[in-house]
Amino acid sequence: MDAPKKIRVRETRLYSRPALLRMPFHFGNAKIEKLDCALLKVIVEDEDGKNIPGIGATIFSPMWFEKNPDISFEERQQSLEDSIAQAANLYQEHESASAWDLHRELEIETRRLNSSGRFNDLTAGFGCALMDSAIIDAICRATDQGLHGVISTNALGLGEKFSELLDKTPKQKIDVRHTVGLVDPLYDNEIIEPINDGLPESLEAVIESYGIRWFKLKASANEEEVMNRLCEVNGVLTSKLGKGNFHVTIDANEQFQTPKDFLSFLDVFESTREIGDFRKQILWVEQPLHRNTALNDEFADELAEINRRIPVIIDESNGTDEAFESAIQLGYRGVSAKNCKGPFRTFKNFEIIERNNRTNPEKPLFLSSEDLTNVPILPLHQDLCVAGTLGIRHTERNGHHYVNGLQFLDPVERQWAMEKHPEVYTTGNSSLPIVNIRHGQLDISRVLETGYGGDFMPNWDTLNEIKLN
């Protein structure tokens, strides 16, 4: 196996790009009507003294990272930018090292610097996550390989034992898991003021347009509201797809304060006769408990009882590289993979899950690809690279549902997307490029072949630069 490629970070610059939504979306108590893409450009120097660009791309999501209602949106956003600035300084000050060694050392250093509690765990790690993505992208560009290639050849420094866990060929097509919010319309006739932009708006229209068979349903702690909603959604899915011909996950977004609260919810859920068959289609529940209590040892017995009744995975509680191991000890059955939490954290969790599932197949652990709002080009592509490389069958994708195609991009960038990735994008009714979901799937074969999501370079002059202090 080849030696890891050592690099040193020489320059970092942060940019943002706004994307107005065609419809608002809700998670928890938050209502979002606009997204901002984060694009972190780095220049790394390799062992031969060559300078190589790389980009880390994701969505700023301040309302997800920090849910304390006493903290303003502007303060939450500033914390994310400060996290990136802190990480940029740490990475630039570090000597030449492999991408994996940089992450291991600086993720720990980030937490040491955050011992005063300036950021919550997720926010503290956001800067490292974006820096790691940019470095991986630079190494893919430098070696002319996709993500699977830089792992298999050890260019990232993950080692032979890790690469042996990967399938020899990344997954070429991936099922889209569509998220249904608590107030999203289920039928066209429910829509009072239709958008009429040629894209589906209701759940039934999404199924008809895209052929989707995997779904993620948002839930709250209001038992009556949620049971009614599940019955309604079950009616749509069964009528459109047939009994048992779909799969569902549930996301509770930290809505329950204690395990006893969630156990009470499960009692009602399991005793609601109208959704008895629907229960069989549910794969797991995502993060029902607030992150402040979800990993408390004092709740070990209740958490074990919950996971005996239904598999539960963590998301917001996955704030450090060690969090998932702690969660497993408490009985949790899986974890979400999100690039905003960092590709290397996902790789580590993937290794834990794969080794467990090969030795303990009767009690499998789950790695779930999640990201409600990532949009093209690189935020979407980089997420899909991770999911496809790790062989994840289905992925939560809803950015295409909330944003009108590639309308928010520069015309030159739209043309690049259509020319380079005709399997991922197609022309919509308004002649704008849109994400091309066919038979409920995305074809990600070319995305996986070229770099970390492509050799794409945004038109930097059209973006908003954010000064890193």
- By C-alpha distance, which of 457, 459, 361 is closest to 141? 457
The model's pLDDT over 278-313, given as tens digits with 9 standing for 90+, comes to 999 999 999 999 999 999 999 999 999 999 999 999
- Cα 412-24-121 angle, rounded to 5 deg: 90
The model's pLDDT over 46-102, given as tens digits with 9 standing for 90+, comes to 999 999 999 999 999 999 999 999 999 999 999 999 999 999 999 999 999 999 999
Q: Is 42's pLDDT higher than 80? A: yes
Angle formed by the axes of helices 203-210 and 223-241, to 10°?
A: 30
Would you say 247 and 279 are in contact if contact means Cβ atoms under 8 Å apart? no
Would you say 52 and 138 are in contact if contact means Cβ atoms under 8 Å apart? yes
- The β-bridge partners of 63 are none
Angle formed by the axes of helices 99-113 and 343-359, to 10°?
A: 110
- Strand, helix or coil at 301? helix
The model's pLDDT over 423-464, given as tens digits with 9 standing for 90+, comes to 999 997 778 899 999 999 999 999 999 899 988 999 999 999
pTM > 0.95: yes
At 31, the pLDDT band (50, 70, 90 cuts) reads confident
What is the rounded CA–CA span in Å between residue 255 and residue 418? 40
Q: Does domain 7-160 have CATH number 2.40.110.10?
A: no
What is the rounded CA–CA span in Å between residue 69 and residue 274? 36
The model's pLDDT over 355-379, given as tens digits with 9 standing for 90+, comes to 999 999 999 999 999 987 899 999 9
Residues in the chain: 469
What single-letter amino acid sits at 271? S
Please report the pLDDT score of residue 27 as a whole number: 59
Would you say 341 and 318 are in contact if contact means Cβ atoms under 8 Å apart? yes
Cα distances from 197 to residues 25, 193, 429, 434, in angstroms, run: 17, 12, 8, 12
Mean local confidence (pLDDT), 106-135:
96
Q: Is 344's pLDDT higher than 90? A: yes
Mean local confidence (pLDDT), 143-160:
97
Would you say 143 and 153 are in contact if contact means Cβ atoms under 8 Å apart? yes
Q: Is 30's pLDDT higher than 70? A: no
What is the rounded CA–CA span in Å between residue 230 and residue 236? 10
The CATH superfamily holding the domain 165-459 is: Enolase-like C-terminal domain (3.20.20.120)
What is the rounded CA–CA span in Å between residue 81 and residue 108? 19
Please report the pLDDT score of residue 33 as a whole number: 83
**How confident is the prediction for the chain on average, in pLDDT?**
95
DSSP 8-class letter at 469: -
The sign of the torsion formed by the CA atoms of 328, 330, 333, 334 equals negative
Q: Is 252's pLDDT higher than 90? A: yes
For the chain, the first-to-last Cα distance in angstroms comes to: 40
- Rg of the chain (C-alpha set): 21
Hey, where are the domains in the chain? 7-160, 165-459
Angle formed by the axes of helices 343-359 and 121-143, to 10°?
A: 90
Distance of CA 368 to the CA centre of its chain: 9
The model's pLDDT over 188-247, given as tens digits with 9 standing for 90+, comes to 999 999 999 999 999 999 999 999 999 999 999 999 999 999 999 999 999 999 999 999
Dihedrals φ, ψ of 467, to 5°? -70, 130
